[in-house]
Amino acid sequence: MTSYADFYRQSIDQPDAFWAEQGQLIDWHKPFDRVCNYDNPPFVHWFQGGLTNLCHNAVDRHLKDRADQAALIAVSSETGLEKTYSFKDLHDEVQRMAASLQALGVQKGDRVLIYMPMIAEAAFAMLACARIGAIHCVVFGGFASGSLASRIEDATPKVIVSADAGSRGGKALPYKPLLDEAIRLSSHKPNAVLLADRSLAPMDLVAGRDHLWNELRKTHRDAQVPCEWLDATAISYTIYTSGTTGKPKGVQRDTGGYTVALAASMRHIFDGRAGETFFSTSDIGWVVGHSYIVYGPLIAGMATILYEGLPTQGMDKKPNGGIWWELVEKYKVTVMFSAPTAVRVLKKQDPALLKKYDLSSLRALFLAGEPLDEPTARWISEGLNVPIIDNYWQTESGWPILTIANGVEQKPSKFGSPGVPMYGYNVKLLHEATGEELTAPGEKGVVVIEGPTPPGFMQTIWQDDSRFVQTYWKTVPGKTVYNTFDWGIRDADGYYFILGRTDDVINVAGHRLGTREIEESISGHLQVAEVAVVGVADALKGQVAMAFVVLRDAALLDDSAAAIKLEAEIMKRVDGDLGALARPARVRFVSALPKTRSGKLLRRAIQAVCEGRDAGDLTTMDDPAVLQQIKDKVAAA
């Protein structure tokens, strides 16, 4: 067996040889003639000259050996629906969906926006797009009209695929009215909307624009839609993520590099084998859902569970904190992927639930998306008795940057650390102010990646190369390096520890949100003069958003009932614009916000005060009394 150190070194020192070998893990219609084109940094083109297709590698490729094996297992504890699609069934459904999209005018290169709950049709739609060379943009179903509208505007989709409703805790959440409102708000209008009708909520159909999947599916029952052979560098999808500005970034990914990266990660990191079952509890609206609910497991020939519902609700819709373990037992899940928040939720359940089911099929549980605290890691590790593997990555990277590659060499994990740099990632720590590389163990710096970034990594920001370069690659004076915007330290064994974001991004229950977007929504309230939103540590969700608002008319607050009403109004506004996920836990009214003398908002100082920490160096602060007022408000709560 190769040592991981050698494996890693080869990936960095001889990327062409390394990735040419990984390239053999997938099917190519035409082999590539150049492995890595890095002629124009930081842009990198992987596997140039090659022709392939993501859907072919996820579905068609397996028809020869495993047509009747389970591919997609759609389980909903919201509706009680549980259905297994074999690779052959999936192939049929995807072709029906592909033919329906084509009938609605979708062609290669067109965008299709997918705004859907966790139902099988969402996966059909993604795979159908990949099949015909359309670019999918999945928008998380928990986002509301404002977020959705800005994404429609940016992606300019020809067609939108959606549903009547999602469901949470047994309560239907209508999607269609939010979608209609988003289309109304957007200056771009789609030609058509394709809707899955789950009979959860009534829908008003717009004549000529809205179509029902149930009907088109019948029309295209026997459709045969071959895979479009695409350049390895052709765009497979975009996925929006938050950054420092209010405008979300369309992270754009290629076809060949992404397929290879996922195939390689399934082997070297997740150690998932064809014929087994993979269960990721994420959502297709997030990058984890793209890579490790839909594409990764299927590429590896595994069955993948697509689960709609809470981790604490049974198939009979009654409370059941063992539902996930029930699924592990029933479908003999070998590899599971979740987030620390979910484990913290389960930790509150009866510990006997972990002993009630036969979990002997499980080999490992992967956790990502937010820092994994030691008590949570220990609790689940003792309960499951399998390795708990923390992995650190981003929407931008598409697959883990830091973790342990047990498929290459078994290595111990360390509590609190996601692990070591993965093959292909030349990870460095830089001094925040000077940009100098930090090489001594234990020094805190900014985590950066030197180019060329590996296959699967974002190509650029959709339609904005210069924003891509400026936002990610030009933040360190004199250097062109990819900035993760995370703080980190490295120990003497080369293990990294992630210490949170350097920018205004917050992480609520593993969901990445931009505080600027929340601030923009709150600023839209007529009474609001100024607002600062910060992320504050929370025992369950990791972080929650906290809003500090300066009102136009401070006298309003003399009446405490008015303050309560205003807080509710502001929260409702955020719900309507962005979705309940972004709703601040509290809105506090203050007479001023702490700023530097040059007027820059001191979010980090507010955050420190909220968390009871020292606010640090306040010499640049304009008026320290302002911070004292925030301290008093927080203390009084």
Binding site for ligand PRX (CB under 6 A): 241, 286-288, 368-371, 390-395, 418, 484, 486, 498, 501, 507, 512
Respond yes or no on whether the N-terminal peptide bond of residue 452 is cis (omega within 30° of 0).
yes
Closer CB to ligand PRX, 77 or 507, in the complex:
507
**Least CB distance to ligand PRX at residue 456 (A):** 12
- Six-digit token string for 491: 């120990």
SS3 201: coil
Residue that the structure tokens 């601040």 belong to: 584
Residue 194 in contact with residue 158, Cβ under 8 Å?
no
Residue 87 in contact with residue 71, Cβ under 8 Å?
yes
**Least CB distance to ligand PRX at residue 510 (A):** 7
CA 151 to CA 240: how far, in whole Å?
7
**Least CB distance to ligand PRX at residue 370 (A):** 5
Closer CB to ligand PRX, 416 or 435, in the complex:
416
Beta carbons within 10 angstroms of residue 31's beta carbon: 13
> Phi first, then psi: what are they for 9, rounded to 5°?
-55, -45
**Least CB distance to ligand PRX at residue 101 (A):** 27
SS3 478: coil
Closer CB to ligand PRX, 404 or 630, in the complex:
404
Closer CB to ligand PRX, 331 or 392, in the complex:
392
- Six-digit token string for 583: 């709703």
**Least CB distance to ligand PRX at residue 462 (A):** 16
Contacts of residue 394, Cβ cutoff 8 Å, sequence gap at least 6: 241, 287, 401, 484
Closer CB to ligand PRX, 580 or 592, in the complex:
580
β-pairing verdict for 333-338 and 364-368: parallel
**Least CB distance to ligand PRX at residue 613 (A):** 19
Closer CB to ligand PRX, 134 or 306, in the complex:
306
**Least CB distance to ligand PRX at residue 398 (A):** 9
The closest alpha carbon to 42, from 401, 454, 486, 505, belongs to: 454
Closer CB to ligand PRX, 42 or 371, in the complex:
371
Respond yes or no on whether the N-terminal peptide bond of residue 42 is cis (omega within 30° of 0).
yes
Closer CB to ligand PRX, 95 or 241, in the complex:
241
Which helix (DSSP H) or strand (DSSP E) does residue 196 occupy? strand 192-196
**Least CB distance to ligand PRX at residue 393 (A):** 5
N residues, the chain: 637
**Least CB distance to ligand PRX at residue 189 (A):** 29
The closest alpha carbon to 8, from 419, 368, 414, 426, belongs to: 426
Beta carbons within 10 angstroms of residue 555's beta carbon: 8
According to the 3-state scheme, what is the secondary structure of 535-578? EEEECCCEEEEEEEEEECCHHHHHCHHHHHHHHHHHHHHHHHHC
CA 599 to CA 616: how far, in whole Å?
18
Closer CB to ligand PRX, 182 or 458, in the complex:
458
Closer CB to ligand PRX, 513 or 593, in the complex:
513
**Least CB distance to ligand PRX at residue 303 (A):** 22
